[in-house]
Chain A
Amino acid sequence: DAKTTQPNSMESNEEEPVHLPCNHSTISGTDYIHWYRQLPSQGPEYVIHGLTSNVNNRMASLAIAEDRKSSTLILHRATLRDAAVYYCIPLSNQAGTALIFGKGTTLSVSS
């Protein structure tokens, strides 16, 4: 499994953009970069994923470095409901393989 490095915690104010970085220098060429988040006392939920190109969806954007050794999750306008632990996980797309969670980044959002 590819190792990841994420800041332990980050803080943001409501309505401001948030950039959550992740280093995954040992990622394999076929691994997708997955981002999940976990709100307190809930199961993780999918945020976004990408392989090589930058990706956008209604929740966030994912910027992937050209060498794929790092990526950044971008929340364009943070809300209080975005306060969660965010996990960056490189993993293949095979159905039988499980996401392996690191420590993630705890995002705090202030009003």
Chain B
Amino acid sequence: GAVVSQHPSRVICKSGTSVKIECRSLDFQATTMFWYRQFPKQSLMLMATSNEGSKATYEQGVEKDKFLINHASLTLSTLTVTSAHPEDSSFYICSARTGQIDSYNEQFFGPGTRLTVL
């Protein structure tokens, strides 16, 4: 099946710094990518939908100025957590659905990035 990669897999940073997470679709072109966040013992929460070449659409309650999303190409989306604070510590997961016509569009997930803000 298709593969979605994320980098880095884990990052520890100091409060106030910015962290960039990369998400790549390795063997398919993803017109749309999605970013999720997951706190311990909770389910995944959709943060935003990212369309190639246009601004991301953020879910209610997600600060667009804090979580900057860029989707510059059909295979790369980035999430930048600006001025990170301890409450931003979480498991961030990106995802993409194949854009096939008249076929099933499976949603593939990256392995996740564990962010710890000290």
- Chain A residues with CB under 8 Å of chain B are 32, 34, 36, 38, 41-46, 49, 85, 87, 93-104
* A31, chain B: closest CB distance, angstroms: 13
Q: Does B1 contact A (CB under 8 A)?
A: yes
| Inter-chain contacts of B46 with A (CB < 8 A) | 98, 100-101
B43 at interface by CB-CB < 8 Å: yes
SS class of chain A's interface: helix, strand, loop or mixed?
loop
A8 CB, min distance to chain B CBs, angstroms? 12
Q: Do the beta carbons of A98 and B43 come within 8 Å of each other?
A: no
Q: A43-B112, A44-B109, A96-B32 are in contact. List 20 more A-B contacts (CB 8 A).
A: A36-B107, A38-B44, A41-B114, A43-B4, A45-B109, A46-B106, A49-B104, A87-B43, A95-B32, A95-B97, A95-B99, A95-B105, A96-B31, A96-B97, A98-B49, A98-B95, A99-B107, A100-B46, A101-B45, A101-B46
Task: Report yes or no: B105 in contact with A93, Cβ–Cβ below 8 A.
Answer: yes
**Partner pick for A43 among B95, B99, B105, CB 8 A cutoff:** B95
Say whether B98 faces chain A, with CB atoms less than 8 Å apart: yes
The docked-state distance in angstroms from the alpha carbon of A36 to that of B98 is: 16
Q: How does the 8 Å CB contact mask read for B95-118 relative to A, with 1 for contact and 0 for none?
A: 101111000111111111010000
